[in-house]
Amino acid sequence: MSIRRLPSELINRIAAGEVVERPASALKELIENGLDAGAGAVSIRLSAGGLDRIEVADDGSGMTPADMRLALERHATSKLPDDAIEAVTSFGFRGEALPSIASVSRLTLESRVRGAEGWRTKIDHGVAEEEGPAALPPGTRVRVEALFDKVPARRKFLRSARAEYAACLDVVKRLAMARPDVAFALEHDGRTILSLHPAEPPKRVAELLSHELDRHGLGIDCVRNGIRLTGVVSLPTFNRGMADQQYLFVNSRPVKDRLLVGSLRAAYRDLLARDRHPVAALFVEVPTDEVDINVHPAKTEVRFRDPAAVRGLIVGGLRTALDEAGHRSVARDQFAQPAAWQVEPVEPAEPRLWSGPASDSAGARAVVADLSMDFLPQGRASIADPVAPSEPAYPLGIARGQVAATYIVAEAADGLVIVDQHAAHERLVLERMRAATRGHEVARQALLVPDVVEMEETDCDRIEDAAADLLRLGLEIDRFGPTSILVRAVPAALGKTDVSGLLNDLAAELSELGTALSLGEKLDHVAATIACHGSVRAGRVLSVAEMNALLREIEVTPHSGQCNHGRPTWVKLGHGEIEKLFGRR
Ligand SMILES: Nc1ncnc2c1ncn2[C@@H]1O[C@H](COP(=O)(O)OP(=O)(O)OP(=O)(O)O)[C@@H](O)[C@H]1O
Ligand SMILES: [Mg+2]
């Protein structure tokens, strides 16, 4: 077969394969061009999720007819005047977006430089069709129709109009957050979706993120080694099943960079379950020579010269903010609103659980017995009889009983507290193990007869490799043949535990973490897995003394407002709320 030079049309179509994957990617390129042209306002109109039509109009510099012809040629750009890709601050620089889009659609480009006449040129799948004068305000208007109509392979992979629309909306949101100083308008199938005026960054972000972040968000602003991190992240208890509300920016460029996503994840490690995700908008600012944006044709990935510094800033900065937010939890904030409580009249079936001889389960009896020998301060009516200043004030109050052998009910000076005992205890065990790993080794409990756990060879290898770390956490193991591990001791905090289940979970954990995390971070992860195995299960009856001990420990333990999976560990119903429930206020 002989080698031939490809015709430019075909070259463009091949490039389009990389740059224009779906309507949303074409839309992204067009908006970026408008922003690069210095637009103060960008307005977007879509039909059928961009499958039928994408239209982007800006009030930027506009182009002369000669520039319009050049703009449609491959590798023609106005954005690299001195060949310095390292120093580029515009969104574009490759000079291939317009010709690529034009090669796989019917494209109409209209533009007008201030003080001159407007011009229009039409391209049908890479072939110039017609050009001539056009009436439009200064700026540029691009219309893309019949995208991929002649590229059946690509058309086949497109999703429904609804899914393509969602991707387009995501693109608009990201760019609107990147440039809060620019007005954005978005219309889909004739319906106005967004209409954003220029605003300060926090306000723009707030307009585009879940409104609940007003109450459940944490502002971030920190600087380290010349790198700045700003933005907002959600409290761990305000989380989502998908990582779809994470907006990350490097020098005002929206990115979906693995390092940044991973750092965000790491900051929430052990505050969230693996399948839950925080909401975040984070802006990283680094000197332009510290980051390479020419990594990927769509420019959504970047390379940092010092990735560890960026990662350290994100993990450290977020962690500090989350630590300071300490005990705040969504549930508590929510319950400031009585609407979140059940106000319907109680069903007759429910009171029966509480009264009469039917409720003689062992659990209920045990609690009643404990209450009768109540040795605690008799500060029952805290309001009428305020705690003397010398006595400690307990924010979580004094335990009054246990419900369903799962929840502790306590009376605080300012209201009623309900604690999920399993969630709370799991958190406490983890924080205890963490504190211990910072100092010395965790206390071990030797097994009288070592346990042999059978596992896949690769899993055994992982566990064996981590043996030294596991020992610091109180788990003493030895390799015992290719597919088994001998467990000699477990962390004392665990008590009686399912050793095989624990080892299997740890192997899964280690395989997922891979080599991505530092040793300290890995230890923390592993500690969380161990803690989960060691906590007081729901359904265990606790004595009043045990309950109070738990309450006191929650009060002094960091991060105790949520369990290791991001659920709240306790909620408080204030006196005001109780009164509202009964219509007294
Ligand atoms: N909306 C616009 N307003 C003014 N000039 C524009 C506009 N869109 C494109 N141009 C001009 O056309 C040129 C080519 O645009 P194109 O998007 O193909 O490449 P680019 O933006 O330079 O680089 P990239 O391929 O990385 O996007 C730009 O460099 C710019 O000079
Ligand atoms: Mg461009």
Separation between Cα atoms, residue 50 and residue 287, nearest integer Å: 36
Q: Which ligand is nearest to the CA of 34?
A: 1
pLDDT of residue 539: 64
User: Is 90 domain-assigned?
Assistant: yes
* pLDDT of 563 over the 50 cut: yes
pLDDT of residue 447: 84
Q: What are the Cα distances from residue 280, in Å, to 183, 208, 283, 568?
A: 22, 11, 10, 19
* pLDDT of 67 over the 90 cut: yes
pLDDT of residue 498: 76
Cα 15 to averaged position of ligand 2 atoms, centre (Å): 13
Sign of the Cα torsion 494, 274, 439, 394 reads negative
Cα 142 to averaged position of ligand 1 atoms, centre (Å): 11
User: Is 388 domain-assigned?
Assistant: no
* pLDDT of 214 over the 50 cut: yes
Cα 33 to averaged position of ligand 2 atoms, centre (Å): 5
Residues 30, 166, single domain; the answer is: yes
Q: At 234, which CATH number?
A: 3.30.230.10
pLDDT of residue 505: 78
pLDDT of residue 177: 96
* pLDDT of 15 over the 80 cut: no
Q: Which ligand is nearest to the CA of 73?
A: 1
User: Is 334 domain-assigned?
Assistant: no
Within 13 Å and on the Cβ side, how many CA atoms surround 366? 16
Range of the domain at 173: 8-196
pLDDT of residue 392: 56
Residues 136, 279, single domain; the answer is: no
Residues 86, 177, single domain; the answer is: yes
Residues 156, 187, single domain; the answer is: yes
137 versus 404: the higher-pLDDT residue is 137
pLDDT of residue 514: 58
Residue 295, number of CB atoms within 10 A of its CB: 14
User: Residue 526 — φ and ψ, nearest 5°?
Assistant: -65, -40
Q: Specify which of 129-133, 159-163, 352-356, 501-505 reaches the highest per-range mean pLDDT.
A: 129-133
Q: Which residues have CB under 8 Å from 582's CB, separation 6+? A: none
Separation between Cα atoms, residue 173 and residue 247, nearest integer Å: 9
Mean pLDDT of 439-450: 78
Within 13 Å and on the Cβ side, how many CA atoms surround 365? 5
Cα 396 to averaged position of ligand 2 atoms, centre (Å): 57
Buried b (16+ CB within 10 A) or exposed e, 207-246: bbbeeebeebbbebeeeeeebebbbbbbbbbbbeeebebb
12 versus 348: the higher-pLDDT residue is 12
Q: Specify which of 125-139, 143-157, 206-220, 449-463 reaches the highest per-range mean pLDDT.
A: 125-139
Residues 191, 218, single domain; the answer is: no
82 versus 383: the higher-pLDDT residue is 82
Atom of ligand 1 lying closest to residue 96 CA: 25
How many distinct structural domains can be found in the chain? 3
Residues 123, 272, single domain; the answer is: no
pLDDT of residue 13: 79
Atom of ligand 1 lying closest to residue 90 CA: 21
Q: To which residue do tokens 């705690």 refer?
A: 387
Q: Which ligand is nearest to the CA of 72?
A: 1
pLDDT of residue 327: 53
Q: Which ligand is nearest to the CA of 97?
A: 1
Q: Which two tokens stand for residue 519?
A: 């040793």
* pLDDT of 488 over the 80 cut: yes
pLDDT of residue 373: 29
Q: Which ligand is nearest to the CA of 93?
A: 1
Q: At 564, which CATH number?
A: 3.30.1370.100
* pLDDT of 250 over the 70 cut: yes
Output the residue whose Cα is nearest ligand 1's atom 9.
Answer: 33
User: Is 370 domain-assigned?
Assistant: yes
User: Is 55 domain-assigned?
Assistant: yes
pLDDT of residue 366: 29
* pLDDT of 155 over the 60 cut: yes
Output the residue whose Cα is nearest ligand 1's atom 8.
Answer: 33
Residues 188, 259, single domain; the answer is: no
Cα 144 to averaged position of ligand 2 atoms, centre (Å): 15
Atom of ligand 1 lying closest to residue 94 CA: 26
Separation between Cα atoms, residue 209 and residue 174, nearest integer Å: 10
Q: Name the β-bridge partners of 110.
A: 120, 141
Separation between Cα atoms, residue 206 and residue 213, nearest integer Å: 8
What residues are in contact with ligand 1 under a 6 Å CB criterion?
29, 33-34, 36-37, 58, 60-63, 71, 77-79, 92-98, 140
User: Is 353 domain-assigned?
Assistant: no
User: Where does a domain end: 325, 348, 369?
Assistant: 325
* Percent of all residues in the chain with a pLDDT value above 90, rounded to a whole number: 32
Cα 69 to averaged position of ligand 2 atoms, centre (Å): 15
Confidence of residue 535 (pLDDT cuts 50, 70, 90): low
Confidence of residue 576 (pLDDT cuts 50, 70, 90): confident
Atom of ligand 1 lying closest to residue 142 CA: 1
- The preferred substitution site among 98, 142, 294 for testing ligand 1, maximizing ligand atoms within 8 Å of CB, is 98
Atom of ligand 1 lying closest to residue 34 CA: 1
* pLDDT of 136 over the 80 cut: yes
pLDDT of residue 101: 94
Q: Which ligand is nearest to the CA of 294?
A: 1
Cα 94 to averaged position of ligand 2 atoms, centre (Å): 7
Residues 72, 145, single domain; the answer is: yes
228 versus 349: the higher-pLDDT residue is 228
Cα 52 to averaged position of ligand 2 atoms, centre (Å): 21
Buried b (16+ CB within 10 A) or exposed e, 142-154: bbbbebbebbeeb
pLDDT of residue 502: 81
Output the residue whose Cα is nearest ligand 1's atom 29.
Answer: 77
Output the residue whose Cα is nearest ligand 1's atom 28.
Answer: 77
5 versus 369: the higher-pLDDT residue is 5
Confidence of residue 68 (pLDDT cuts 50, 70, 90): very high
Q: To which residue do tokens 């001791």 refer?
A: 489
User: Where does a domain end: 145, 163, 196?
Assistant: 196
Q: Which two tokens stand for residue 262?
A: 């991973």
* pLDDT of 69 over the 90 cut: yes
Q: At 40, which CATH number?
A: 3.30.565.10
pLDDT of residue 356: 27
* pLDDT of 361 over the 50 cut: no
Cα 160 to averaged position of ligand 2 atoms, centre (Å): 26
Output the residue whose Cα is nearest ligand 1's atom 7.
Answer: 33
Residues 140, 178, single domain; the answer is: yes
Q: Which ligand is nearest to the CA of 96?
A: 1
- The preferred substitution site among 18, 77, 296, 299 for testing ligand 1, maximizing ligand atoms within 8 Å of CB, is 77
43 versus 94: the higher-pLDDT residue is 43
Residues 74, 164, single domain; the answer is: yes
- The preferred substitution site among 27, 33, 299 for testing ligand 1, maximizing ligand atoms within 8 Å of CB, is 33
Confidence of residue 536 (pLDDT cuts 50, 70, 90): low
* pLDDT of 412 over the 90 cut: no
> What digits encode the pLDDT tens for the residues 281-301?
999 999 998 999 888 888 888
Cα 68 to averaged position of ligand 1 atoms, centre (Å): 9
User: Is 352 domain-assigned?
Assistant: no
Residues 180, 225, single domain; the answer is: no
pLDDT of residue 362: 32
Cα 88 to averaged position of ligand 2 atoms, centre (Å): 13
- Among 98-107, 442-451, 514-523, the least confident range: 514-523
User: Is 344 domain-assigned?
Assistant: no
Mean pLDDT of 458-481: 85
Atom of ligand 1 lying closest to residue 68 CA: 12
Closest CA to 89 of 155, 178, 219: 178
Mean pLDDT, rounded, of the chain: 80
> What digits encode the pLDDT tens for the residues 340-353?
222 222 233 232 22
* pLDDT of 75 over the 50 cut: yes
Output the residue whose Cα is nearest ligand 1's atom 21.
Answer: 92
pLDDT of residue 449: 84
Confidence of residue 384 (pLDDT cuts 50, 70, 90): very low
Q: Which ligand is nearest to the CA of 78?
A: 1
Atom of ligand 1 lying closest to residue 76 CA: 14
Cα 303 to averaged position of ligand 2 atoms, centre (Å): 20
pLDDT of residue 375: 29
Cα 358 to averaged position of ligand 2 atoms, centre (Å): 74
Residues 228, 290, single domain; the answer is: yes
Confidence of residue 367 (pLDDT cuts 50, 70, 90): very low
419 versus 323: the higher-pLDDT residue is 419
User: Where does a domain end: 173, 196, 219?
Assistant: 196
Cα 297 to averaged position of ligand 1 atoms, centre (Å): 15
